[in-house]
Each structure stands twice: as structure tokens, then as C-alpha cells.
Structure 1
């Protein structure tokens, strides 16, 4: 069993599971196709699910278990996941780790696989291809009656809630951020206006790589008055919209939102527009960031290319460590807070739910969001002042 990428006639891409003869595993394919098409999840999500489900089905095949009822022995599957390397085949049915052996898969990887398996089996229960009792094997099933009144919802009716039974305790890791010095060094190491704009979109605007690669030329509204463009928002801003993009770029947030940008980002947009016109007078594709220096010229950059750019800039700038796009995003959020921004402002600016609650309760005004962005000084200025 293995994960396999599928491209539909419509151009939509998702991942499925195939057997050793590359025959599609129908039950897994229905689950993964529905995840992509009906639920609108990203292609990368179906890839993660397909990899997890393929491991589960491989374990069932290797140990002679029926995948529909194997959930009653999920603990053995977790042991197999931890110690069985690669595509172990049928010889991996008995796992005996020796003294001093290192786990093949770390806790975070095991938990991701278990999440995929739970979703797969839950889909099977819904479709009635998996016995209903399996639900109690993978979830602790309860209701909302024991919750505080404020958390029971407005309907007043009883609702079921599910809590995963099988989960490995993950070691706590510090969430790091890129420092202003690192961002400035990466910015200086850029060799094109396009790369400088990319660094600012990551570290100054706080976009995810998929959101940066998915921007279209119509998304930035850099005029103070955007009404001629059919937009009633004031000031320079960028619209973040989830789309089915040909380069696979995907915005994690389902809800579109507009992100205010400051003069540094506007200048970077202007410089990139001149560079793009010089390199591609015909314009290229409708995507904002495109290939300018290697073929296929004019094609959109990919999410992977943005990660590779950060790796290259980190090395070229001599930072001594890899500064990732996620660290740049954390830098943006931290700078907003350091400049006096509030949690709800960060929440709205990053296009995410309140990190301390399952639903956002605070809604900052657009004017306050713009003020939050304008309060953050130039990273170059911050570095200069701190060096004096």
C-alpha cells in the first residue's frame, strides 16, 4: 500500500491509496476524494491522510487483520508505527526493538498517522462499511451535559462530543521566531525584487507560503482609494483568497480576508512590478509571483520554491540556522504584539481563530488593524537603533 497522486480531468489534484499492483483501494479513495472535493480540504491534507491510511492498511495486511475491525488493537498498531521502518512488508508483523534502538517515527508523526486513521474509520462508520462499535474504540464518546452552561451552545439540546482515545504525548517544543536581524540579513541577501517582496510577504505581512504562492495580480490593492477596483477598503492592502490554483498553492483559511500592508511592502510591490515588466513584457500568468530567471518563464512559483528560497537566503546570509517561513510568520505576530498590538488584532491579521478559544469573540475594527500594522517600525530601523 502506498499514497498516490491523482489529477482529475477538472485539474483538481488529490492523493489516494493504491496497492502493490497500483490498483486503487476503493474505500480509501472514496474517503480521500470526499475530503478534497466535498469538504474542500487542501491537496496536502489528502497527501498526509493517504500516507497515514496506507500505513494502517499495510499493517493490517502484514498482520492478517481486517482493517474494518482492527481498531480494537490500535495499541499494537502504534507500537508497529514507532518501530517498523519504511515499507516493512509481511516480515514486519512482529516488532522487537533492541536495546538502545531509536524509534523510526517520532511522536508528532505517529499522532498525524493516528489522526488520518481515525478520520478514515469515522468515514467508514458514516458510510456503514465499518461497524458502529468501532467509533467507541477510537473515540471516547460523551455528551455536552457535563460542560459549563456557557459552553453547551444556544440550542439547549444535547450534543455528542468525541475525544481521541489513542494519542502519543508529544515533547514540548519552543516556538521560535525569526529575529529582526535575521530578516534584514535575508532581505539584503536577496538577488531580485521578487525575492525581496517574498521575504516581506512572509515576515512583514505574515502570510503562509501557500498564501504567498497563491496570490494573483488582482489581489493587491495598493492605492489609498481602491473603489475604482471595486473595493471599498481604505489604504493599501492585499486580499487573501482560497482558490484551486494550478501550482497547488492553497490558503489554509477558508474565509477570505484583507491584510493591511505598509509603505515597505508597497515599495517592494512597485520594484517587483518594474522587474517583472523588464523580464516579461508580455506579462506571463495571472499569478503575482512567477518564474523570472529560469524556465518555464512566467509560470507561478510554488510553495516548495518559497521554502527553498528561505533555506538559500539563510545560508547566503550566514545566519547559522535555517529560518523557515513559519518563523517569519511568528516574527510578524511578535512584532505586532511588541508594538502594542492585542491578541484579537493578531488573530484578525493572521486570518485565524482565537488561539485561546474554539471561536473568536473579539472583533477589532479595520482602523485598529491598520494602526497595528503602522505601529511596527522598519526592521532595518530597529536593527540600526539597537546597534547604536
Structure 2
């Protein structure tokens, strides 16, 4: 945009902007402050428009055949070198996309179609092809409201049941192995920011040098937070980094992370000299030198460290975040302390992140006295 702000859009085969999709994505970007969604939504809409065009359907008429679109999504690989593979599903064919990805594409398609109806670009009948009218009686009791009345809602007609994915935390041994596998100070700092501070990869990539305060007293810098800390801020970043938290927050740093910062600053000065980008994490070993790392580069680095460390699974940034929260709870941290460590505003938000050590859970059960007076394993009652 002329203002310097960015968003993702959709082009047709002639490399012309698709007007209704562009309007909807700009509506998402500027109307809802959801810039991080425009990339995923633009990709989903592009797939829908590619399918409708290749099958001779207009994009508004194609809404009635979303079931066929779902089959196409499941078995048609992404195009390579501009060539879309021919769909030839058969017995034993390997899916090109999983249930979660297909559902995300359908969310984007429904959003586009609903927006088009609201703007008069598509007939109102399209809504009946993508939604069914449902009432609150099929919702859990806690979601039905206190007055007991029935309210109506739109429920998507097309969706797939997604397999349950196990939620797990990174173990201390895995994080130590990844840290040890790091070949430079920058990579080791990234492991600590993920597995000891609890930052998401978008937050790690979006850090600026001015966000980091390593002195015991940073009031001269305008920071009243006691001790070393890093300020996590939501801002526009040229490298696509984005903080999921809507509010700014401060994460405390322990002596291990402070030491890692010192080593990284020394390494950066040795490689690049003075000056350069205000972004904290930049390219030190490949071109373009000094340019900020992207969130994708952070994820790829963690994957390489897992392979280099010989781990039997991929440990991502979110697993490191769960490890930070779980370790804080296992060490006796109160719920409000864990909430502050994660940078969250509600105690309910930390539930998916706190996975207690099984030994602590077993010890808690064993501390409960037996109602029958049977002595416990240590002779207690």
C-alpha cells in the first residue's frame, strides 16, 4: 500500500487482482486488525478460484458444489512451476492435504462468499449453500445461556472431522539437546527464547534490540520492570513476524538467557560490525547479511536442530512454550504467575499450556489420605 502497510491478495491467471477477493482481504486487514490471517485466507481463496475456473464454474455458482471442491482439495497437489496436476484419485491414493488444512481453506471460502453476498457481488441464495440454520439446542448446556431461551445460528454445511492431535511439551532433555546442537550463539539464543522464555516463533522473529533490557535497573531506558527483561510488542514487521498477543507484555530473563544474549551480541558485532538493523535476530551466516530472520526461518532452524540432536520427534516453538509454563507450575508457580510468564490476560488461557510433570501428579494423588485408614506408601494416612 502507499502507506507502507501490507496485506496479501489474489491474482488471476492474467496476473490481475481479483476485485472481490482483494476487497475482502483489505477488509480483514484494516477492518479487523488481522493482518496475519490475510496470507492464509488469500491462499485458500486462490485454491477455490483455481478449482472453479478449471471446472468451468463461476465462483458464485461453485458454492453449491463445495463437496466436490473438498475432494479436489484432498487429492490434488499444489501446482509446480505453474502447472496444476490432473486429479486422478483412486484406491489407495495418498491425500495431498489433511482434514485440518481443508477445513482452514473452507473457512476462507465461506468468508469470501459471505462478504460477497453482503456487498451484492453474489446472490443471497449462496448463504443457503454454505450454511444451515441451526438452533442452540444442540449446544452443550454451558453454551446455551442462562435464560434457557432458544437462539438461532448459522452452522457450516461442509467440514471434516479433524483427528485429535496430542498436546505435548518439550522435555528438558530435548531442549538441552537442541541447545547443544546449536553451532553458534544466535541459534542457541533462539532455543532459550523458545524453551526458557516461552515466546512464539513470530514473537521471537519480531524482537528488536531496543526491546531487550539486560541491566538490573532499566529505569533510565524508561522501563520500570525489575531485572533483565524483554518487551514483547505487537507491531508491523517487514519480515512478516507477528505477535499473537493483542497486548504488549514483559517477559523476565534469567541468568542463562542474559548470558546467551551477551554471547550473541559479541558474535553479531564480530560478523557485522556496528550499526545495522534494529531487529534482534538477523542473518549472520548467509545472504542477505544483517537482514531480519523470518518466523519461517525460526521454525526451519528448530527443525534442523532436532535432526542434528538426534531427537525422534520434531520439537516446535509451541512445545517450548508449553515447557516454560509447565516448568513454572512444577516449580511451585501460582496460576497468576504462570499467566504472567505466558503474557496472557486470563487464567483460563493457560490451560492448554500447563502440562504437569507426571511425577508431580502421582505425588499429588499419593498425598491424599485413604478414607479406609490404609497406610500410604510412606506410612501416612
TM-score > 0.5, shorter chain as reference? yes
Please tell me whether Structure 1 or Structure 2 has the larger radius of gyration of its CA atoms.
2
- TM-score, normalised by the number of residues in structure 1: 0.78
Match of 1:20 in 2: 13
- Bigger Cα displacement from structure 2, 285-294 vs 271-280: 271-280
Match of 1:33 among 9, 26, 29: 26
The within-5 A match list for 1:190-205 is: 190-205=182-197
CA contact (8 A) 1:226 1:233 kept: yes
CA contact (8 A) 2:63 2:130 kept: yes
The within-5 A match list for 1:179-328 is: 179-328=171-320
Deviation at 1:159, TM superposition (A): 8.0
Distance 1:140 1:265, change over 3 A: farther
Distance 1:132 1:227, change over 3 A: farther
Match of 1:112 in 2: 104
CA contact (8 A) 1:58 1:89 kept: no
* Uncovered stretches (5+) of structure 2, i.e. residues with no partner: 352-381
Match of 1:384 in 2: none
CA contact (8 A) 2:78 2:84 kept: no
Question: Secondary structure in 2 aligned to 1:100?
Answer: coil
> Is 1:329 equivalent to 2:318 in the alignment?
no
Rounded Cα–Cα distance in structure 1 between residues aligned with 2:84 and 2:230: 53
Question: Secondary structure in 2 aligned to 1:30?
Answer: helix
Q: Deviations over 1:230-264 (max 9, x none)?
A: 22222322111111112221112222111222222
Match of 1:42 in 2: 35
Distance 1:162 1:343, change over 3 A: farther
* Uncovered stretches (5+) of structure 1, i.e. residues with no partner: 1-7, 363-388
Rounded Cα–Cα distance in structure 2 between residues aligned with 1:145 and 1:192: 58
Rounded Cα–Cα distance in structure 2 between residues aligned with 1:168 and 1:151: 22
CA contact (8 A) 2:233 2:249 kept: yes
Match of 1:64 among 39, 56, 64: 56
Rounded Cα–Cα distance in structure 2 between residues aligned with 1:354 and 1:115: 27
- Bigger Cα displacement from structure 2, 237-246 vs 262-271: 262-271
Rounded Cα–Cα distance in structure 1 between residues aligned with 2:294 and 2:251: 21
CA contact (8 A) 1:215 1:287 kept: yes
Q: Deviations over 1:74-93 (max 9, x none)?
A: 2232223223344599996x
Distance 1:164 1:345, change over 3 A: farther
Rounded Cα–Cα distance in structure 2 between residues aligned with 1:158 and 1:351: 37
Deviation at 1:214, TM superposition (A): 0.6
